[in-house]
Amino acid sequence: MYKVIKNEKINPNTYLMEIEAPEVIKNALPGQFVILMGKEDSERIPLTIYDTDKEKNILSVIYQVIGASTEELSTIKKDIFAVTGPLGKPNEICKNPEEYKKRKIVYVAGGVGVAPVYPQVKYLKERGFDIDVIYGAREKDLLIIQDKLEAVSKNVYYVTDDGSFGEKGFVTNVLEANHDKYDLCVAIGPLIMMKNVAAVTKKYNIQTIVSMNPLMVDGSGMCGACRCEIEGKPKFACIDGPEFDGHKVNYDLAMKRMNIYKEEEKQKWEQMKKELGTK
Amino acid sequence: MNDEKVKMRTQDPKVRNKNFEEVELGYTKEEALKEASRCLHCKVPRCVEGCPVNIMIPDFIAAIKENNIKKAYEIISESSSLPAICGRVCPQEKQCESKCVKGLKGDAISIGSLERYVADEAMKNDFVANIKVPKNNKKVAIVGSGPAGLSCAGELAKKGFSVTIYEVLHKAGGVLSYGIPEFRLPKSIVENQIKSLKKLGVTIRTNIPIGNALTIKELQKEYDAVFIGTGAGLPKFMGIEGEDASGVFSANEILTRINLMKSYKEESKTPIKKPKKAYVIGGGNVAMDAVRSLKRLGADAHIMYRRSEEELPARKMEAEHAKEEGIKFDLLQNPVKIITDEANNVTGMEVVDMELKEAGEDGRRSVEEKKGSNHIVDCDMVVMALGTGPNHEALKDSNIVLTDKNLIEVKDSKTSLDNVFAGGDAVTGAATVILAMEAGKKAAKEIINLFS
C-alpha cells in the first residue's frame, strides 16, 4: 500500500493524483512512466510521470477517466495498492541535456499529453533551456496546469479546436506557421495528433520525438502487448520506449491496436459504474 | 506381480476443460502409503543423483511408510525450499524417476506425487520445518522472485543471512505466479510456499524495477552480496507478416492476463479475448499451458507445431492431459503469414506442411517446408509460444559481462561484478523451474562459502 496525498478533479474528466512513493521517484527522469493499481484486483494502468517532489517524496500523475480502471482510480482516497516505477527509458534530451544545448526545441502537447510534457520542459528550464510549447485542447474548459506550464516555458501557444481559448484550429497550424524557428520537436498527445505533427516536421526536416502510450500489462518487457512498429520492426514501448523517433512510427497500426479490447472495455466500464454506484 | 504405480486421480477431462481448478487431485493417505511401500530403498539410491537438488528420496519415502509425514517434510526441506511446487511441476520422468530401478521392469516410483503429498500435508497441518538459526549479520539482495530467487533466498535464510527479494510485479513468484496456470499449480500453493519463506525471515519487496528504481550498483553498496535471478521473460515472435494483428498475442501475455490478473473470472478488471478458434504456435510446456487455458475460455483450441509428436518439447504428461481435454494437435505444420481484415483482426493463417530431416549434430531432427503445400486455416486468435529470451532490464548501467548468446556469464555462479551472483534462465536461457531452483541453491552455497 502507498499513501495517497491527493486525488482531485482538475477538469471535467481529468484527475491529479499525488502519491508518497520515495523509491519510485528517487532515480526517475522525465519521460519515464509508472504503473498504478488502485486495488489488489485492479488492472495495471500505465501512466507517464507528471511531476516529482524529491524532498517530500511525492509522485504526481494526471489521468483522464476513460474506462473502468481509471473510473475506479478516481475513487481511491487514502491508499493505493501498487505503484511500480520508474519504467521505460527517460527522454533522450533530459538524459543528455549537454548534447542538446544548441538545439532549437519546441514541445507540442495535446490534451492530457501536457502532463508528461511539463516535467520535461521544467527539467530543461532548470538546465538553462528556453523552450516554446504549443498546447492544444478541444476547448477552453479542458486546459490544465496552465500556470505551471507558463512558469517553465519561454512561450506557450494555446490552440483550441473551437477557438474558445488561444488560436482556433490545431497544434499543427501553429507548428506550420513557426516551423523555421525549430530543429527539434517533442510531441506528446493522442496518436492522431502525433501522426499529424510528425507529418509536418517531416516536411521541414525537423527531428521529432513522440511518446507512445499503447496497451500494456506488466510494463517490464514480459508480455509484448505494447509492441509498436518502428521502422517496420516490432519494438516494446515499455522497455525500448516509450519515446521513439516520430518519423519512424507506424501510427495507423498503433491506432488499430488501441482498439483490441474495445468491446470488453465497454462492458467492464458499465460493470464498474454499477459497482461503484451501488457501493 | 503387482508392480504398477498408484496413478494420481484427476478431474474428468470433460469437466476440467471448462474450469481452472487443479487437474490432478493428489494422493490420499492410503494411496501414498501404497505407493511408498513399492520403494526398494536401494543402497545406492540413483534417484537422488537424478534430482537436481539431491533430495534424500528413499529417506523421505521411508518416513511416509512410518506414517511420519512431519519427518518426511523435514527431510525434503533440508534440500528443497519449494516442495509443493516441485512435486507438481518438475519433469520427474526425466529426473529422479528416470533413474529408479523399478522403472527398468515396470513403473518407477511416483516420487513427484509422493513429494507433493508430503508438502500438501505439511501445508494442511501447518508444519514448520524446524530450523532456527542465529542471524549472521550479512545482507543479501535477490533480484527476481521466481524459482531461482526463491530457492536462493530459502537456502541463505536457513544459514542466518538477512535476505531481501526485489520483484518488479505486484506479486511474488515470477513464472510460478504469472506463467503456470492455476489448473496445474494453484496460486494458493505458491502463496503458501512464499509465506513459509517469509517465516524464515525473508523480506519480499514487490513493485520495484531493479535497473530503474534501484541499480545493481546501488544494491552492491547496500548489501554484502547480490543474486540475480531475473529469468528469461522476453517473448519471441516469428517475424512473419500480420504478426502485429490485434488477435496475435505472446503466450506470456495470455498467461499473464489469465494467471496474474485473473481475467478468466467474470469480475476481473483486466480484459481477455475469448476466441472462437485459436492456434497456439509451439510445442513446449508454455504452449500447453496457453492452449489449455484457451480451451477453458471456450475456444476450439489447437497446437500448431512444426515437428512431430515425438519431438514435442513439452512434458509428456502435459501433452496427454491436453489431448484428453480436447486440444487438437496440428503437427508438422508452420504458419508463414497471418491473415487479417481491415480492422486488423485475425481471420486466418497461411500454413505450410513440414518434413522431418535427419538428426543434426545436436541430435535434434531439423525440419524443412514442403514446397507448394501452402494452405489456409481459419482462426480468430494466434498465440506465439516460441520460447523466451533474457530480459536484462535489471542490469542497466551495470557493465556486467554477457555471453555471446546474450546471457549472463558466470563461473561457479559468480558474475563479472564483485559479489554479484546469478542463476536460472538469465544464465542458461529458458529452462525449467527445478533447474532454476538448483541454480539458486548453488549460488546460495557460493555465497555462504564467501562469508564462512
Set of cell numbers at residue B429:
536461457
- Asked, for residue B301, whether it belongs to a domain, the answer is yes
Do B68 and B150 belong to one domain? no
Cell for B18? 471448462
Q: Are residues B330 and B439 in the same domain?
A: no
Residue B5 falls inside a structural domain: no
**B427 and B335 part of one domain:** no
Kindly report the backbone phi and psi dihedral angles of residue A25, in degrees, each rounded to the nearest multiple of 5, phi listed first: -90, -15
* B190 and B302 assigned to the same domain: no
The pLDDT score that the predictor gives to residue B132 is 67
Interface test with B, best of A81, A222, A278 (most B CBs within 10 A): A222
Q: Please name which of A67, A80, A99 lies closest in space to residue A35, comparing C-alpha atoms.
A: A80
Residue with cell 517524496: A57
CA-based nearest distance A91→chain B, Å = 14
The answer as to whether B193 is a domain residue is yes
Distance of CA B103 to the CA centre of its chain: 25
Same domain, B363 and B220: no
What pLDDT is attached to residue B90? 83
State which residue of chain B sits closest to A83, comparing Cα positions: B207
The closest CB to that of A256, out of B168, B235, B343, belongs to B343
DSSP bridge partners of A228: A235
Does residue B27 lie in a domain region?
yes
Q: What pLDDT is attached to residue B217?
A: 95
Estimate to the nearest angstrom the gap between the alpha carbon of B12 and the chain centroid: 24
B326, B187: one domain: no
Type of residue found at A252: D
Helix, strand, coil in percent for chain B, rounding step 5: 35, 20, 45
Residue from the list B213, B246, B256 with its beta carbon closest to the beta carbon of A218: B256
pLDDT band, residue B131 (cuts 50/70/90): low
Q: What is the mean pLDDT of residues B154-174?
A: 94
pLDDT of residue A53: 94
Q: How many domains does chain B divide into?
A: 3
What percent of the residues of chain A are helix, what percent strand, and what percent coil, each to the nearest 5? 35, 30, 35
Q: In this complex, is the C-beta atom of A217 within 8 Å of any C-beta atom belonging to chain B?
A: yes
Q: Give ipTM to 2 decimals.
A: 0.93
All residues at 6 or more sequence positions from B29 whose CB lies less than 8 Å from its CB, including other chains: B67
Residues B241 and B357 in one domain: yes
A 10 A CB-CB count for A95 gives 13
Sign of CA dihedral A20, A21, A26, A27: negative
Handedness of CA B37, B43, B49, B52 (dihedral sign): positive
- In terms of phi and psi (left: phi > 0; alpha: psi -120 to 50; beta: otherwise), the region of A85 is left
Indicate whether B202 belongs to any domain: yes
Q: Is residue B116 part of a domain?
A: yes
Q: Are residues B239 and B341 in the same domain?
A: yes
Question: Taking a contact as any Cβ pair under 8 Å apart, which residues of chain B between 141 and 170 contact chain A?
Answer: 168-170
> What is residue A240's DSSP assignment?
T
- Minimal Cα–Cα distance from B52 to chain A, Å? 27
Residue A201 near residue A177 (C-beta atoms within 8 A): no
Q: Is residue B127 predicted with pLDDT exceeding 50?
A: yes
At residue B8, the pLDDT reads 92
> Can you tell me the distance from the alpha carbon of A265 to that of A270, in angstroms, rounded to the nearest whole number?
9
Amino acid at A254: A
CB A51, CB A60: distance < 8 Å: yes
Express each pLDDT in B244-278 by its tens digit.
999 999 999 999 999 999 999 888 899 999 999 99
B368 and B254, same structural domain?
yes
Phi/psi of residue A85, nearest 5 degrees: 160, 180
pLDDT single digits (tens) B16-61: 999 999 999 999 999 999 999 999 999 899 999 988 888 999 999 9
Does a structural domain hold residue B144? yes
**Which of B124, B157, B174 lies at the terminal end of a domain, its last residue?**
B124
**Domain boundary residue among B369, B388, B407?**
B388
Q: Is residue B3 part of a domain?
A: no
Q: Reply yes or no on whether the pLDDT at B233 is more than 90.
A: no
Q: B195-226, pLDDT tens digit by residue? A: 989 988 999 999 999 999 999 999 999 999 99
pLDDT tens sequence across B175-202: 999 999 999 999 999 999 899 899 889 9
Share of chain B above pLDDT 70, in %: 99
The partner residue sitting opposite B250, judged by closest CB among A44, A72, A224, is: A224
Mean pLDDT per block of 10 residues along chain A (279 residues) reads 96 95 95 96 95 95 94 94 96 96 96 96 96 96 95 96 94 94 96 97 97 95 94 94 97 94 90 78
**Domain interval for residue B36:** 13-124
User: Where residue B412 sits, what CATH number does that domain have?
Assistant: 3.50.50.60
Mean pLDDT value across residues B292-316: 94
- The pLDDT score that the predictor gives to residue B230 is 95
Q: How far apart are CA B253 and CA A19, in angstroms?
A: 28
Count of Cβ atoms closer than 10 Å to residue B236 Cβ: 18
Domain identity same for B357 and B430? no
Beta bridge partners of B176: none
Do B256 and B333 belong together in one domain?
Answer: yes
Half-sphere exposure of A162 (CA within 13 A, CB side): 7
What are chain A's domains? 2-87 (2.40.30.10), 92-211 (3.40.50.80)
What CATH number does the domain containing B76 carry? 1.10.1060.10
Determine the average pLDDT of the residues in B341-353: 95
Q: Do residue B269 and residue B321 come from a single domain?
A: yes
Cell matching residue A40: 489488489
The answer to whether A260 touches A215, Cβ cutoff 8 Å, is yes
Give the gap in angstroms from C-alpha B68 to the nearest C-alpha of chain A. Answer: 39
Last residue of a domain, one of B388, B403, B433: B388
